[in-house]
Structure 1
Amino acid sequence: MLTMEHIYRIRHLRKFEGKSLRKIAEITGHDFSTVKRYVDKEDFNLPMPIKQKREGKLSPYRDIVLKWLTDDKNAPHKQQHTAKRIHDRLEELYPNEFDAHERSVRKFVAKLRKELVMVTDGFLPLEHPPGEAQVDFGEARFIENGITYDGNYLNISYPHSNGGYMQLFKSQNQECLLEGMKAIFEHVGGVPIAIWFDNMSTAVKKVKEYGKRDLTNGFIRFMMHYGFQSNFCNPNSGNEKGSVEAKVGYHRRNLLVPVPEFKSLKEFNKELLEKCDKDMNRMHYKGHGLIKDLFEEDIIEFFKLPDAPFEVYLHQFAKADNYGKAKFDGRLYSTSPNMAGQQVMFKVGAYDIDVLDYNSKLIVTHSRLYGEEKESMIWVPYLELMSKRPTALKYTGLFNQLPTTIKEYMNQCNYVSKKQALKLFTKMTANTNIDSAIAAFEESIKCGTSDVDSIWATYCRLTTGPLPELEICLSETVPKLEKYTPDITVYDKLMVAGGLNQ
């Protein structure tokens, strides 16, 4: 089976150098049929995995260590990180997760330092024809559902037109990079023919001599799926992607001030795309015309979108504990009580995490945890078990999350009525969601009804809405009644008369 690098070379020779299939077979040494198969291949989505993929113990800390080493270039030599200092800082930052030995950290740091090659040559003026783009991340704070995140925003700049788009995320991992690019490609309706990147670890595994790079498999699959050509800047050469460097600041000042606050990050990102559309209704900074008109010249050169959308996710296997909880990226996610002690698979995207069983069947979907968030608990799969063990309710995290009125109601119930109430709660949650179940219980308790039939009736009313008013058509045999308006002034006379008699 060919590696991603071999497949990429075959497609590059065909698409960008115009070589014939037989010439490619001669150059690469692969069979003609093999060359043809990968030239014709359009879908580079990753197939469902069948076994666990293991990663190095230190790989989750790669980005932060790389940042420390990069920042060291601006610090005095005696104030730069040693491998021991990096080991100690990781222990301080991740006291409950980090358990690597100092010797392992030394090897890890030595490997990263080899990638940080200093380049001191002068700048070269670069031409940017229509259809090319540049990509980079910026840092930004935002508030989602009352929680503050220090996240990142992906920027794509089109140097020819000075157009640009952005997407906001809670991190700058590979899933965020690819999800942001995919969303922008689909919004614009095309793919840049060439895209410039810096040496971000989500795309580049290793920077080698003479400008060569080892790319991550996920990035290679994404690049081949959409057909663009990638170019990577020399280390410490931000001038080579100056357009997007400027766009990072522009987007922050104009779209992220004041600190944005919203309910859903996904929905906010859709709004950002529309705001970027409107932002193109202004003059190019060199006075070449409106940006939106120049951007049409970019679009003409874009590749068309592939028929199959790319699925942005990574997969990882984990074993659930006795409570049915499994760990990904140092954070706990609930699954289902019947998965206790069994292997599950995380299907991880930029926004969400699907938890699948051994048959790749969906168990539950979580919002992906970032920042200080350590555990996500979705109680729906646990409710059925809880309804069979009602006495355990008050010892669960769900009980603590319930409104006071429902807690008091449950505490007053005997064993049988509590069991019935929990079964009803489970049924309502499965039909709609846990919020509507809570609302039905609260409304019923407020109205003074606590039996399960009344609570179910309240739930049906709240979830289905008011009943429609029926128009009754009477037959012609029914006599028509004249409108009668009573005269109540006679009662006023009686009241006056009664008052006079007194």
Structure 2
Amino acid sequence: MLTMEQVYRIRNMKKFEGKSLRKISQITGHDFETVKKYVHKEDFNQAIRPKQRRQGKLSPYRSIVTRWLINDKQAPHKQQHTAKRVYDRLKELYGDEFDASERSVRKFVAGIRKELQMNSEGFLPLEHPPGEAQADFGEARFIENGITYDGYYFNISYPHSNGGHMQLFKSANQECLLEGMKAIFEHIGGVPTAIWFDNMSTAVRKVKEYGERDLTKGFLRFMMHYGFRSNFCNPNSGHEKGSVENKVGYHRRNMLVPVPEFKDLKEYNKELLLKCDQDMNRMHYKGYGMIKDLFEEDRQEFFKLPKVPFEVYLHEFAKADNYGKVKFDGRIYSTSPGMAGQQVIVKAGAYDIEILDEDCNHIIKHKRLYGEEKESMNWIPYLELMSKRPTALKYTGLYNQLPQILKEFLDKSDYEGKKRTLRMFTKMAEAASFDTAIEAFEEGIRLGVSDTDSIWAIYCRLTTGTLPEPEVLLPDTVPELKKYTPDIKIYDQLIVPGGLQV
């Protein structure tokens, strides 16, 4: 089986160099049928593998150390990081989790410094024909459903037309990068022929000599799936993608002021794409014409979308604790009581987290947590189990984690009442939300009711505004009344000039 890099080379030689399949086979030494298979392959979605791959001890810290050393270029020489200072900062940040030696850090830092050696030969003017694009992230604050996030916005600009699109996210991780590109590709109905990036760690694993890059597997897979060519700026060379640098500022000033506030980020991102379309109804800053018309020239050069959409996700294996909860990215997500102590698969996208069992069967789905959010608890699977065994409820570890209002209500209920309450609460939470079910109980207790029928009536009022009207069945002895339609034409005879006849 060929590596991603080998597959990429084969496809690049065919698509961008125009070589025949037989010529590619001769150059690479791969079998003709193998070359043909990968040239015609359309779907590069990742299949979840049953085994994790271990990284080198210092690999997880490459991106943060690289960022420190790049930022040193703007600091006085005596205030730049030494290898010892890098070692000390990593120890301070990660504590016992960081167990590399100072000697290995010195070698690690020396290697990164060699990669980041600046090219002092001056700037080269760059030209961008129709169909090319540039991409970058900017930082932005926004409010979703009353919660404030210090997040990021992904920007794509088209230098030829000066058009652009953006997407708002709670992180700048690889899932957000790829989800942003995918959403924009699908919105514009095509794929830019080449996209310029900086050396973001979500795309570039290693900067090598002579401008070569080792790309992350996820980014490489995405790039091959959509068929675009990627170009990367030299370190500390933002001028090489000046179009998107300007677009980052333009989008912030025109799309993110005042601080945007909305209910759902995914839906808001759809609105942002439409706003970016409308923004193209203006003149190009150099007077070349309307941006929307120039963008049509870009669109004519775009590659077609692949037949199979790319599914953006990162997956990890995790073991559920005694309560059926798993930890991912420093945050806790519930699964179900039946998964306690078992291995599960965490499938993480930009917006959501899906948890699967070992056979890749769906267990539950959560909104992905970011910022100060630490735990997502979906009580439905737990409440279903507890409703079958209400007597044991108070002796489980989960009882203490239930909302106080629900615990108080259950404490006052008998055996059958506990079963009815838990079944009803589960039904409410499934139909509306956990918070709505809690609100119904809080409102009931405030009004002094304690029976489940009254609580259900309050829930119906909260969710529909009115109580459900049961169908009334009349007995056969009630006679059927004929329908009567009044004739209002007789009132026309009373109308005379100047008013009604009296």
Using structure 1 for the length normalisation, give the TM-score.
0.87
How many residues are paired up?
A: 479
Code of the residue aligned with 2:332 in structure 1: it is: L
How does 1:47-446 map onto structure 2 within 5 Å?
Answer: 47-56=47-56, 58-94=58-94, 101-103=101-103, 105-387=105-387, 388=389, 389-392=392-395, 396=399, 398-400=401-403, 404=405, 406=406, 408-442=408-442, 445=445
SS in 2 for 1:51: coil
**Which deviates more from structure 2 when the two are superposed, residues 115-124 or residues 288-297?**
115-124
Tell me how far apart the structure 2 counterparts of residues 249 and 482 of structure 1 sit (CA, whole Å): 68
Tell me how far apart the structure 2 counterparts of residues 396 and 101 of structure 1 sit (CA, whole Å): 45
Tell me how far apart the structure 2 counterparts of residues 13 and 482 of structure 1 sit (CA, whole Å): 83
Gaps of 5+ in 2: 488-502
Code of the residue aligned with 2:424 in structure 1: it is: L
Q: Offset at 1:446?
A: 5.9
Gaps of 5+ in 1: 484-502
Deviations 1:126-172 (A, max 9, x none): 11110000111111222223332222211101000000011111221
Contact 2:139–2:151 at 8 Å: present in 1 too? yes
Partner residue in 1 for 2:497: none
Using structure 2 for the length normalisation, give the TM-score.
0.87
Deviations 1:22-77 (A, max 9, x none): 11111111111001100110000001222233344554444332221111111122
> CA 1:357 to 1:108, structure 2 compared with 1: closer, same or farther past 3 Å?
farther
> CA 1:301 to 1:420, structure 2 compared with 1: closer, same or farther past 3 Å?
same
Q: Offset at 1:254?
A: 1.1
Tell me how far apart the structure 2 counterparts of residues 453 and 354 of structure 1 sit (CA, whole Å): 35
Tell me how far apart the structure 2 counterparts of residues 223 and 439 of structure 1 sit (CA, whole Å): 47
Tell me how far apart the structure 2 counterparts of residues 362 and 479 of structure 1 sit (CA, whole Å): 55
Tell me how far apart the structure 2 counterparts of residues 142 and 202 of structure 1 sit (CA, whole Å): 23
Q: Offset at 1:432?
A: 4.6
Tell me how far apart the structure 1 counterparts of residues 10 and 16 of structure 2 sit (CA, whole Å): 10
Tell me how far apart the structure 1 counterparts of residues 285 and 273 of structure 2 sit (CA, whole Å): 21
Tell me how far apart the structure 2 counterparts of residues 320 and 449 of structure 1 sit (CA, whole Å): 39
Tell me how far apart the structure 2 counterparts of residues 202 and 461 of structure 1 sit (CA, whole Å): 48
**Which deviates more from structure 2 when the two are superposed, residues 422-431 or residues 218-227?**
422-431
> CA 1:300 to 1:263, structure 2 compared with 1: closer, same or farther past 3 Å?
same
Tell me how far apart the structure 2 counterparts of residues 381 and 103 of structure 1 sit (CA, whole Å): 50
Code of the residue aligned with 1:215 in structure 2: it is: L
SS in 2 for 1:156: strand
Partner residue in 2 for 1:20: 20
> CA 1:253 to 1:96, structure 2 compared with 1: closer, same or farther past 3 Å?
farther
Code of the residue aligned with 1:203 in structure 2: it is: A
Partner residue in 2 for 1:495: none
RMSD (CA atoms)? 3.0
> CA 1:466 to 1:426, structure 2 compared with 1: closer, same or farther past 3 Å?
closer
Tell me how far apart the structure 1 counterparts of residues 117 and 3 of structure 2 sit (CA, whole Å): 26
Q: Offset at 1:458?
A: 5.7
Contact 2:143–2:261 at 8 Å: present in 1 too? yes
> CA 1:112 to 1:416, structure 2 compared with 1: closer, same or farther past 3 Å?
farther
Contact 2:460–2:468 at 8 Å: present in 1 too? no
Contact 2:70–2:235 at 8 Å: present in 1 too? no
Identity %: 71
Contact 1:60–1:329 at 8 Å: present in 2 too? no
Contact 1:393–1:399 at 8 Å: present in 2 too? no
> CA 1:139 to 1:56, structure 2 compared with 1: closer, same or farther past 3 Å?
farther
Deviations 1:380-412 (A, max 9, x none): 222233332332589746533x6x5x5543343
